[in-house]
Structures are given as C-alpha cells and as structure tokens.
Amino acid sequence: MPCDLTNPIFKNEAAAVTHMEADRWPNGVTCPLCGSDTPKKMGGQTQAGMFLCGACRGKFTVRTGTVFERSHIPLHKWLMATHLIASSKKGISAHQLHRMLGITYKSAWFMAHRIREAMAPDESVSADPMGGEGKIVEVDETYIGNKKGRKLRGKNHPGNIKHTVVALVEREGGVRSFHVKEPMNKKVARKILFRNIDKRSDIVTHESQLYPAPAANFIRHSTVNHSNKEYARGDIHTNTIEGVFSIFKRGMIGTYQHCGEQHLQRYLNEFDFRYSNRTKLGVSDAARATKILKGAEGKRLTYRQVG
C-alpha cells in the first residue's frame, strides 16, 4: 500500500495524535515513565493529548520517550516527513522538507536526523548474525566524500583521502553498512565479518586481499576478479552489493550533496533501512513508515548530539 498523502493524519493535528496513540499503544496506554497501565487522559485545551499516570503521577504525551519528544513542530508534520523519507528511494533533502512542510531549514535538518535515528537498527537486531546455512552474503567496500584537510600526495595518489564504507548484503535479504574511521586492514575486516555474519554462510567478495584470511572461517569464500574484467561466475558475483552502493551514492551525490564525517553513519542507516525493508521483500511505503514510528520509541537525539 502506498502512502496516501491526502490522509487527515498529515494535515490535522488531532488526527495525527490519535493515529500515533493507536500505533504506539494498540492494547491500551502505558506510562513511558514507569510502565504502569493506569494513565488517564487529561481534559482541557491546554492539556490536549496529555495523560496523567495514576502510579507515578507523571504527565506525558504520545511523544514522550520517542525521537519526537520536546519538539515544537506539529505531530502531523512529523508524520508527513516520516512518510516522505520512508518512500523516497534516494532520500529527500532538508531543503525539500523545509519547503514542503513550511518549517525552517534548521528545523528540517534536525528533523531528518531524528528520523534517521529512528531508522537506526536496534542493538538486539544488529546483534543477530546475517546469512546462515545455504545463504550467500556479499562483502565489499567503497569510498566516498573527502576527509577534511587531508590529501594524498604523489604521482600515484592525487587528491583527497576519502571515507571508507564497508557493507554486507544478504542475497534476498537485508544490508548492513559501516563507516570505518580507522585504516582498513585485515584485522578490521575480520572484526566486521565475525560480528555480523553467521559462520555457516557463503562469503563472496572481489579479489581484495582484505578478506581471504577472515573469510576462511566460513563455509565457503568465493571471489570474482574485477581486474581481469570478471564480474560473474554463476552465482558468484558482487552485483547485489554494488547495486546497494549505487543507490547510496546517487542519493548522497544527487540528493544530499554533502555529508559531514560525523553524520555519515546516520545516512548509511537511512539507506540500509529502506533497502532492508524494500518492496521486493513485501514491505510497502506505508509499512516502512510504520516501522520508523516503532523505531522512534525508546530513542532520543538532541541538537547538541547531532551538531
């Protein structure tokens, strides 16, 4: 089901609050402060949408304990932004959000980062290994942007030093991407593979010497030699992960255009989320947006943390 942008939840604040409450508390309201199921809705215009907990006597709203907490932006605009980001394959810029939602650019930029925080994988999910018996995981690295003030010198290394991104994609499954800040070597490759991939998986990489040693601990390690213009040999290829990188780079260059080093992992999380919850896996735009709202619970991101 696509996102219906004529839905009242994107225009009417009361409808947006009701939608969020039903989505967050389908079995009845529980206090995000103490976990009690005895809250009562408060009345009056000044306390619209507010609850009073009968156990801890704390006051809260549906925003409390989420990335939306303490935001002065109306909730219906948050829902619109969430649906736009969820359904835009290559992302949507803060300038575009600023124009469409009628908020300042600074607010739109911060809003987008908070939504990316909701798209970040939970620790319980990221701890589960990818792949498994009979499954193939492709591993590759790419380089993007420029490290501020650092350049490679010499005839063979002109230009800036780029940021390293390593990604793992499970065929017909999800993807995990990592911004590697340290120099990329076999030790780093080993740590990433061992932490994220089931040992019963088949590993496919290109001819890089980073992977043979750590990949030897898995069921099978196959390579394709791009230097010799070999791009596929039966089911041995890295076309899937290269497709993931293609979407990411098109989004970063065409949509976002610039990304500070401190924010790169958040952008990777955004693209990983959309790819791992893509239509081919049975996840619609609307379902993707709903997953973001679920991911917003129990998280918080302040402007100071982002800056």
Q: Are strands 59-60 and 51-52 parallel, antiparallel or unpaired?
A: antiparallel
**Three-class secondary structure of residue 101 per DSSP:** helix
pLDDT at residue 1, as a whole number = 54
pLDDT at 195 over 60: yes
Comparing 28-37, 151-160, 223-232, 259-268, which segment has the lowest mean pLDDT? 151-160
Q: How many other β-carbons are positioned within 10 Å of the β-carbon of residue 5?
A: 11
Q: What is the largest CA-CA distance in the chain?
A: 73
222 pLDDT higher than 60: yes
Q: What is the pTM of this model?
A: 0.92
Give the count of beta carbons closer than 10 Å to the beta carbon of residue 298: 12
Q: Is 8 helix (H, G, I), strand (E, B) or coil?
A: helix
**Beta strand spans in the chain (E):** 40-41, 51-52, 59-60, 136-144, 163-170, 175-180, 202-206, 220-224, 232-233, 236-237
- Take residue 99 and report the two structure tokens written for it: 């124009």
* All domains in the chain, ordered by first residue: 8-123+291-306 (no CATH), 126-276 (3.30.420.10)
pLDDT value for 122:
86
- 149 pLDDT band, cuts 50/70/90, is low
Q: Which residues of 129-148 are buried (b: 16+ CB within 10 A; e: fewer)?
A: ebbeeebbbbbbbbebbeee
Mean of all residue pLDDT scores within the chain: 92
Residue 154 or 92, more confident = 92
**Count of alpha carbons within 13 Å of 279, Cβ hemisphere only?**
10
pLDDT recorded at residue 125: 64
Share of the chain above pLDDT 90, in %: 82
- pLDDT for position 158: 46
* Spatial separation of the C-alpha atoms in residues 270 and 93, rounded to whole Å: 13
Tens of pLDDT along 48-104? 889 999 999 999 999 999 999 999 999 999 999 999 999 999 999 999 999 999 999
**Residue 151 confidence (pLDDT):** 55
Q: Is 284 left (phi over 0), alpha (psi -120 to 50) or beta?
A: beta
> Which pLDDT does position 228 carry in this prediction?
87
- DSSP secondary structure code for residue 252 in this structure: I
